[in-house]
Amino acid sequence: MVKIAKTYAQLDDEKNAVAWIEKALAARWDDKPRLAGRSLFSNGVSADFKNIQGSDAFKKLAGAAVPEHMTRVQKWQLDLDYLVSEIKRLHVDMYHHMSEAEFDNKVHSIRKAISTSDDQQIVFEFMSLLGMLGNGHNFIIPAWGQHGSFTQLPMQFYWFSDGLYIVEAQQPYEDLVGYEVTHFGKTPAEKALQLVAEINARDNEMQQLWLAPYYLGLPQVLAGLNIIDDVTNVTLTVRRSDDEEQTVTPKAHAMTFAGFPKLPALKSGGYQRGLSRNSEPYWYEHIVDKQLRYVQFNDVRDDPELSFAEFNDELRQLIMQQSIEHMVIDLRHNSGGDGSITPPLVATATLFEAIKPDGKLLILMGRSTFSAGHDLLVDLTRFTHPILVGEPSGTRPNAIGEAGWFNLPYSQQTGIISSQFHQNSSAEDHRIWLAPDLPVSLSSAAYFKGQDVALDAALNFVE
């Protein structure tokens, strides 16, 4: 439909171009920001629409028109109305977790509070509105807007089996890596984690363990949840081992976002197989003493130098040519991407089982195995017979997902809304996650010693 609209626009036929854009939007076309030139995937308004981009009808459809005579309050109300309309247009089942009355009441309360709220407080309330949708793939990234963007603490948190810890920090706070965080202000860390559920729309509670620590690094979230009183004065109570507690007040910086963070490798401590290369989309290694091929798949995207299909061609040749008796596929850091490229790995795993009927196929999984990474996990369990190792997964076999992008007209804040239902398993599959056959959780003690307990469990199992 969008292609047809572009064709009419090139012919300078505004009426039919606009009509076909309307049809595309009614069918939940999920990159409406492209019309306003605000898409994350392309720069500027498409040249195909240059003949009509100045028309009022096109500007209205694009969501880029903000009348100059509007007051600040009216402009934020315009953003609220736009967000509500995009939720209703895009979300495939917006009332599966809440009632229509609850949603309308929340919208009314936000509208009423706009005149007495600052920009960041309004964006927080928008995040809370999305949180009510009750499934993953619904959030705002308050880092790129013209108004209301957040700040961020200079450290990364991770929730281990024994508490919340600082796993990475910028100068001058690097010495805090390894410290447990016990309180945000006067709020215990565990309570703060629970409160984040208000804005963390999620598919299950593993996704809460995955993403809540990230949101705890945003002072405006902490203030919006009444965890702290002042976004410019975030006090953390920390402790190391059995040492006495101490307080620190880190200075926040402008928020940046390049995807949700992955658990980092230790800066010192030698080679950590499962963490040292988790920023690369995919790679493999032969573990000679186990006669095992270890494959790590971290991001569902093609590497420009070696496509995922080519990568799997290479893997299959090695399986046929080398003495490989077992295979481990690590999906623990894979939170999604372009799911259309994943079938070659299913073919690789199927070939391995056919050639090595006595070998063991193991898959490492966890809280951030999500979206297209999780779809792959479901496919692998459907077509092969792997042993699952690690934590429960971060989403459901059948889940509301996809990424319908929006960009608000005034504030230009960007986010996503779930626009499709993905049935990757049978219609009767109501599991809230995939459960591991071999459950393994990671403690802070093991992590800071450089141990990879899930991979160690898999390697021990093959013996």
Task: Give yes or no for residue 187 having a pLDDT over 90.
Answer: yes
Contacts of 100 (CB under 8 A, 6+ apart): none
User: So what's the pLDDT on residue 184?
Assistant: 97
Q: Is the pLDDT of residue 57 over 90?
A: no
pLDDT over 80 (residue 316): yes
Q: How confident is the model at residue 64 (pLDDT cuts 50, 70, 90)?
A: confident
Q: What is the mean pLDDT of the chain?
A: 94
**Intrachain domains 151-254 and 282-395+433-461 with the same fold:** no
- Structure confidence at residue 385 (pLDDT): 97
Q: Is the pLDDT of residue 434 over 80?
A: yes
135: left (phi over 0), alpha (psi -120 to 50) or beta: beta
In the block, tokens 């658990």 appear at 263
Characterize the bridge pairing of strands 236-239 and 180-184: antiparallel
H/E stretch holding 372 reads helix 371-383
Asked whether 61 and 35 are in contact (CB, 8 A), the reply is yes
Angle at 36 between CA 44 and CA 416, to 5 degrees: 105
In CATH, 282-395+433-461 is 3.90.226.10: yes
pLDDT at 235 over 90: yes
287-311 confidence digits (pLDDT tens): 988 999 999 999 999 999 999 999 9
Query: Percentage of the chain surpassing pLDDT 90?
Result: 79
- Reference 275, options 336, 364, 373; nearest CA is 364
Does residue 402 have a pLDDT over 90? Answer: no
In the predicted model, what is the mean pLDDT of residues 105-121? 97
**Stated pTM of the model:** 0.94
- Residue type at 380? L
pLDDT score recorded for residue 169: 97
Confidence of residue 55 (pLDDT cuts 50, 70, 90): confident
210-216 CB contacts, 8 Å cutoff, 24+ apart: 210/260, 210/367, 210/368, 210/370, 210/394, 211/260, 212/159, 213/156, 213/157, 213/158, 213/159, 213/164, 214/156, 214/157, 214/260, 214/261, 216/157, 216/164, 216/184, 216/189, 216/192
Selected from 3.10.20.90, 2.30.42.10, 2.40.50.140, 2.40.10.10, the CATH number assigned to the domain covering 151-254 reads 2.30.42.10
451-to-74, 144, 401, 445 alpha-carbon distances in Å: 54, 37, 33, 9
- pLDDT at position 30: 86
- Give me the pLDDT at residue 32, please: 87
The more confident residue out of 33 and 353 is 353
pLDDT at 269 over 80: no
Structure confidence at residue 12 as a pLDDT band (50, 70, 90): confident
Closest CA to 14 of 55, 65, 44, 63: 55
Of the listed ranges 59-73, 80-94, 289-303, the one predicted with least confidence:
59-73
* 67, two tokens: 């009348």
- Rg of the chain, C-alpha, whole Å: 24
Rounded-to-integer distance, Cα 80 and Cα 276, Å: 42
pLDDT tier at 209, thresholds 50, 70, 90 = very high
pLDDT of residue 97: 93
Q: How confident is the model at residue 160 (pLDDT cuts 50, 70, 90)?
A: very high
Please report the pLDDT score of residue 205 as a whole number.
Answer: 95
Domain boundaries, the chain: 1-65, 151-254, 282-395+433-461
What is the arithmetic mean of pLDDT over 268-273? Answer: 82
The predicted-structure confidence for 16-42, as pLDDT tens digits, reads as follows: 888 998 999 998 888 888 888 887 777
Structure tokens at 263: 């658990």
Cβ contact 407:38 at 8 Å: yes
Q: What is the pLDDT of residue 54?
A: 80
Q: Are 139 and 255 in contact (CB under 8 A)?
A: no
Per-residue pLDDT, 31: 86
